Structure 1
């Protein structure tokens, strides 16, 4: 299975560079570019390929005014722009992947192990987002930039990136409630402000058109996200690992992103009970948190935990490998969506070319 083989090769690459930080840093941009090409130039691969293709064709018949009046105006404006430039639908996948991997790179630059961070994203986030759910992939890329701004204490930048992410995928709007917590000092005042804003904020989000549409589609309707429980469960396990074992050492060694790690851990824990309400909504929120999960897992070797840290780090890769292998081998959904892998890198099929 090509995807399991790729992840095994990536794990082997991480092991080979374990004692060579300079080589690891030099390998990272090569892998980043390779994964971008692999995801961006796929052909008829991904569960949402046909759905987004229909959306693309429909939007081309509408125009920019309709795009800007949509619930996610930035995304639909991007769709319209691709069409206005005379580019075919596959180029929308390229644009989405470019935003996704650009955001991943911005967050990766804050990590000691950029390569490990990127590898840990592959089996869950990379396969499901820029290789399938391209709208949320672009939104997640913007949220990665927002998370990086959060760590730098830049409230305005965090808010702008989050607003852009929300204009691409409305699910990112929940992270606007974190804006009062950006910064270094006055933590009690910031927490109080966040709680004060959370009440009307949650009300507005819950009463908005996007939330009402999501509730009507995904709550008590029988529509489920297959695998949501496993992904949310893995997030919850990561959060438990952080709070029970990693947090004291993290606070002592990496104070600059400690606040975001705590908030991310709390959100990870919250996704598990949310599955009981709607697996689809829980799954969509969970994907936004996978970059923060990868930050936690990639940081384990640098927390000074000795043998226990080495075991936990190895276990992180092993669990993800097992999850990917089970998914790839036993899921008919996976086989339908991702196999065989094909690319249009060397020639765009005529069916996807727009008439001149």
Structure 2
């Protein structure tokens, strides 16, 4: 447990040191980004996914003559096939998926006024739960995060291509293809209605698809529960409500270039919460994709207020996520089972 607290404390200290100036902040950003990648990518016997993916690695072999493209979510199997064909160790799977995940965070972080804060705030929930415990979705989140940036930049081909790449790792990423109309049109009530009408056929076919049936069997019919999802989805919902109640008008004036992305993300944060009552796991899975947008909102708060409010809103995200992190690590038996002790193959 100590190493997680010490790592997080070090990250918070980097944010404090970053106030000295842009040059210091940029240097610390690269140290933190690379350090977090190594912490995640070289984990050893750590994470709830470790045993399951280790089993895949042990039983897979080129001599079996299997075609990885014939499997569900084939990108993972292609990587596994390459690793085994080249006699590389199992940890290379974590390295590849962590690299994709942190590349996605890096692409979005560089669009923020304080990239260092964005990366540090990702650690307590997103980094611990995804590249350190759910590598296929972690890779998908990396691509979806880059797709969000492409949406804000109005690059439809790049947006669709990145979502397609993410879907090859985790089929849940395809749901965000329904946002394609907003690559062309700005966020407004009229465009939301039009996008909903245009997306309805696509949504219907997605619900009838094989990945949707698999998700239903795994997460709804099985009765599987994600006990921490209420907290994660609750924070997302509160963030979305806070954005619409206090930030939307300010955001449109101060950050018009990604107003559509912030508004769409906040709308989805609010709308995804009811999924929790259908399946806590499915709600949780989709919620992780929205955390990068939540972090974007958190890191912009100090730039949207002045005086004492600025200081309060600058500290609030760290206080909130630190509280969640401490409560989770102290009360969750799953955290103890999956993450303790921390081991690394780096040395």
TM-score after normalising by structure 2: 0.95
1:107–1:148 contact (8 Å) kept in structure 2: yes
Contact 2:187 2:260 in 1 (8 A): no
Identify unmatched segments of 5+ residues in structure 1.
347-356
Separation (CA, whole Å) in 1 of partners of 2:63 and 2:203: 32
The Cα shift of 1:245 comes to 1.0
Could you tell me whether the CA contact under 8 Å between 1:232 and 1:283 is conserved in 2?
Answer: yes
Which has the larger displacement, 210-219 or 180-189? 180-189
Which whole-Å CA distance do the structure 1 matches of 2:114 and 2:37 have between them? 19
Question: How many residue pairs are counted as aligned between the two chains?
Answer: 346
Partner in structure 2 of residue 113 of structure 1: 114
Q: Is the 8 A contact 1:180 1:191 kept in 2?
A: no
Alignment of 1:1-356 (within 5 A): 1-60=2-61, 66-183=67-184, 191=192, 194-346=195-347
2:63 and 2:125 map into 1 onto residues whose CA distance is: 34
How far apart in 2 are the matches of 1:103 and 1:92? 17
Distance 1:185 1:279, change over 3 A: closer
- Displacement, 1:270? 1.8
Distance 2:3 2:253 in 1: 41
Q: 2 CA distance for matches of 1:175 and 1:322?
A: 30
Q: How large is the RMSD of aligned CA atoms in angstroms?
A: 1.9
Kept in 1, the 8 Å contact 2:14–2:28? The answer is: no
Q: Is the CA contact (8 Å cut-off) linking 1:96 and 1:134 kept in structure 2?
A: yes
* Cα displacement (A) at 1:260: 0.7
Deviation (angstroms), 1:62: 7.5
Q: Is the Cα contact below 8 Å between 1:181 and 1:187 reproduced in 2?
A: no
Q: Is the 8 A contact 2:252 2:259 kept in 1?
A: yes
Superposed CA offset, 1:133-176 (max 9, x none):
01111111111111111111100000000010011100101000
Contact 2:62 2:84 in 1 (8 A): no
Q: Closer, same or farther in 2 for the Cα pair 1:248/1:190, shift >3 Å?
A: closer
TM-score of the pair, normalised by structure 1? 0.92
Deviations 1:174-227 (A, max 9, x none): 000111111366978854552233211111111111111111221153210120
SS of 1:140's equivalent in the other structure is helix
Shift of 1:83: 1.5
